[in-house]
Structure 1
């Protein structure tokens, strides 16, 4: 009886049922869309952090750069020798550490021995600024007062007693004309990595797509892995060679970033990087993996307590330094989007409840007659709640379909968001060369800008939330309508008869 009556009443009031269902559907669809976009934002931020830390890295240990001494010069310095031949090419490399103050390599072992630490690996980040070009020697010429000029080697002077000049006029001071300098500046980043454990550290953010990676025996070999973007810029291939401060390195592999761009252009064995940077037994960053991801905060506190003077940075700390359109969109999705979806959902619930209550008011004769025939109030209430629940489930199904369509559209379009990495000593790039090897000191913001494609994944939890909201909306509308129907008396049906 209940099912038959429910089906008949919903068939009679298709338009009213559809309006209620669509109101709930829009609210539920907005919730699904906002949740899926927020999940996509979190995934995008994780990609950005992994591009800095590397897969499996939970935190980094660094030390802040000490303030320069008064009167000391921190600017770049290049020295070129004088050559007799004009136009001869000269080159000079300036290699300096970046990413914080250098740490003793022994600290890597000390950090790895701390409670809760699964593995610790040291890395040395360098910035190489290469200046090459040539000088062109100018020629000295003299000019006369009459406006004529001749080279200093062939000038003719005429003068009488007292040093007077002849018809050609007096001779002026010699002037150098022509000549100059033509130099190119190339700045790129270099990371010295522990080849015995490549699962942590800068190289773990990339995969070798051409050639091969380092072997455990190449701890001090003159070999290099270069990033795909830098190899394309310099036209390097496997087997190509290049020099850093006079040391020749052979390219054995080309690395492609797992996500976005890499902030490192050249990877070398740690010992070779230490030699180039004049930093024997030194590292700038220690990459740490915790035994349990839930204990990262405790491990951070332990390291800071037992190893003084160091800065421990976790992925949560680094997330606050990410800016750009990714950060803006994430803030909008978190603050504006969620509150907007909640407001729309509440409005949808209220509209459904009011429409259901209004529909009950128009069915006074029907419910009054049913009560006159012996229906108890609870049976009338159950009938109204049942109809509202069906409307809610229909709205939930429509809302899930609309939400999935919206999430699919976002994923299909894959809008590009930029993530600008703020200043942090724990990052793999740091100041200086960025993707492609371009940039120099003072250009960190531009060199550390990454591009991320936004996706909108829909999880089973989000679907379950949508079903729960549909049931909740139906219960709220049914509760108000049922309460209104339960207060009707059989006499109300007689008053409504015209």
Structure 2
């Protein structure tokens, strides 16, 4: 009897039911779209951060760069003096971005409570100058006589003419090199790239003269697996080519850490310690422990670096998390209120109906359950419609994939200033490109939790509307219906 009456009433009041369901659907769809877009922006931001420090890294430990000019050391290039025309080449390997830390710092960090793993890396910048000196040719003037012009005191004649041609042509090439601990390759910047050709390092190649080259740099310099690249007189065989998952690669070349330390004359030194926390909820406490127990270091978490992200990605993320969410909540509350008021108004128009039912023996509780049941079905209909519209909106956003830009290292806070002169953000290995804008395609993934929230909102909307109508129906008396009988 309950379901039969419910079905007939909903069919008889299709327009009113559609209005209530549509209002709830609008609020639920907006919640789904905003939540999915916010989730997509969060993933896009994570992708930007991972392009700098790699997968699995929760924080980095560094030592701030020395003040400019404090060392007084400037790059010097020495060339051999040769009598004939010859090609000259000289390069200089320099530590990039930060002051170096002792390799023992890695062990100290690894022993801190809450640290799952720690690995050190050395960021280098190589400045190479190569070119050729050319000797000029001396040519006499055409009017020079055999005797020439004598000098004072009747000395020998001096040739009249000029030196033509000659000079020097040199090319300056700068590129970044990252020394990686080949025994722990699951942590650090190299994890933000995938090996697309060849292989990665073997754990036994701790001091081998091998290298992995970034795909963009390899294309620019026409490098490939099996070829060699020379760094400060040492030839490295390329064993693999890596491609960055997003944005620019962390470095142009990756070599074993020991080789990098040898090239930079920085034995047992690192510039950055990459740290993985045992529990993501303990990152702040791990950061505090490292800063307290290891003096002279700066600890930067992914949250610190996220604050330095600017560009349209940051702007859109702020809008979605503030304006979008508040707008969703406001629309949802309005939809609930409208559904409740419409249901209550419908009950008022059905005074004769409910009064008659009570006169026939229906209890107030049964009338209330009937009204709540109708409102709950309306809410579920609105939930189904809202989920469909929300999924459609999220699909459209993903299909269009609007491109957002993310820029790091502008006028950000402490993490942004740590890059130093060309240093990498978040301890990254010398990323001069860190100030460049990275293009990120936005997606709007819909998770199961969002769907469950939508279903919960639909049920809640139906119950709220039913509560309004049920309260109004429970106050009706059979006498009210009899007064309206003509």
Shorter-chain TM-score bucket reads 0.7 to 0.9
CA contact (8 A) 2:17 2:378 kept: yes
2:376 is the counterpart of 1:386: no
Relative to structure 1, the CA distance from residue 256 to residue 99 in structure 2 (aligned partners, 3 Å threshold; closer, same or farther) is same
Q: CA deviation at 1:191?
A: 0.3
Q: CA deviation at 1:153?
A: 3.9
The whole-number CA distance in structure 2 between the counterparts of 1:307 and 1:293 is: 21
Partner of 1:271: 258
CA contact (8 A) 1:61 1:426 kept: no
CA contact (8 A) 1:122 1:194 kept: yes
2:455 is the counterpart of 1:467: yes
Match of 2:465 among 477, 493, 497: 477
Partner of 1:451: 439
Partner of 1:322: 309
The whole-number CA distance in structure 1 between the counterparts of 2:409 and 2:164 is: 48
Q: CA deviation at 1:156?
A: 4.1
Relative to structure 1, the CA distance from residue 443 to residue 49 in structure 2 (aligned partners, 3 Å threshold; closer, same or farther) is closer
Partner of 1:348: 335
Q: CA deviation at 1:492?
A: 3.3
Partner of 1:30: 30
Deviations 1:140-196 (A, max 9, x none): 8xxxxxxxxxx65434489xxxx9xxxxxxxxx988776665443332211001112
The whole-number CA distance in structure 2 between the counterparts of 1:414 and 1:139 is: 63
Q: CA deviation at 1:136?
A: 5.3
Q: CA deviation at 1:362?
A: 2.2
Partner of 2:204: 217
Q: CA deviation at 1:51?
A: 2.3
Match of 1:297 among 284, 292, 316: 284
Q: CA deviation at 1:273?
A: 0.9
Deviations 1:216-244 (A, max 9, x none): 33222221111122112212111111212
CA contact (8 A) 2:422 2:431 kept: yes
CA contact (8 A) 2:178 2:254 kept: yes
Q: Normalized against structure 2, the TM-score is what? A: 0.87
**Which sections of structure 1, spanning at least 5 residues, go unmatched?**
141-150, 164-172, 435-439
Q: Normalized against structure 1, the TM-score is what? A: 0.85
**Which sections of structure 2, spanning at least 5 residues, go unmatched?**
152-159, 425-429
Match of 2:123 among 98, 122, 125: 125
The whole-number CA distance in structure 1 between the counterparts of 2:162 and 2:483 is: 117
CA contact (8 A) 2:98 2:423 kept: no
The whole-number CA distance in structure 2 between the counterparts of 1:495 and 1:82 is: 119
Match of 1:281 among 265, 268, 274: 268
The whole-number CA distance in structure 1 between the counterparts of 2:167 and 2:6 is: 94
The whole-number CA distance in structure 2 between the counterparts of 1:22 and 1:425 is: 47
> How many residues are treated as equivalent by the alignment?
470
2:88 is the counterpart of 1:101: no
Relative to structure 1, the CA distance from residue 107 to residue 307 in structure 2 (aligned partners, 3 Å threshold; closer, same or farther) is same
Deviations 1:348-395 (A, max 9, x none): 112212222222222232223223333333322222111111100000
SS of residue in 1 equivalent to 2:373:
helix
Q: CA deviation at 1:209?
A: 2.2
Q: CA deviation at 1:407?
A: 1.7
Deviations 1:445-496 (A, max 9, x none): 12xx433332222222111111111111111111222222333333433444
Superposed, 1:4-403 pairs within 5 Å as 4-69=4-69, 77-80=76-79, 84-85=83-84, 88-135=86-133, 152-156=140-144, 181-403=168-390
Q: CA deviation at 1:7?
A: 0.7
The whole-number CA distance in structure 2 between the counterparts of 1:153 and 1:442 is: 52
> Greater CA deviation, 488-497 or 326-335?
488-497
> Greater CA deviation, 345-354 or 180-189?
180-189
Relative to structure 1, the CA distance from residue 406 to residue 112 in structure 2 (aligned partners, 3 Å threshold; closer, same or farther) is same
CA contact (8 A) 2:56 2:187 kept: yes
Relative to structure 1, the CA distance from residue 342 to residue 215 in structure 2 (aligned partners, 3 Å threshold; closer, same or farther) is same
Deviations 1:319-354 (A, max 9, x none): 222222222221111111111111111111122122
Q: CA deviation at 1:42?
A: 1.7
CA contact (8 A) 1:189 1:433 kept: no
Deviations 1:99-140 (A, max 9, x none): 311011122222222233232211100112223334556678
Q: CA deviation at 1:12?
A: 0.5
Relative to structure 1, the CA distance from residue 75 to residue 323 in structure 2 (aligned partners, 3 Å threshold; closer, same or farther) is farther
The whole-number CA distance in structure 1 between the counterparts of 2:449 and 2:221 is: 48
Q: CA deviation at 1:287?
A: 1.4
The whole-number CA distance in structure 1 between the counterparts of 2:135 and 2:15 is: 91
SS of residue in 1 equivalent to 2:35:
helix
CA contact (8 A) 2:65 2:418 kept: no
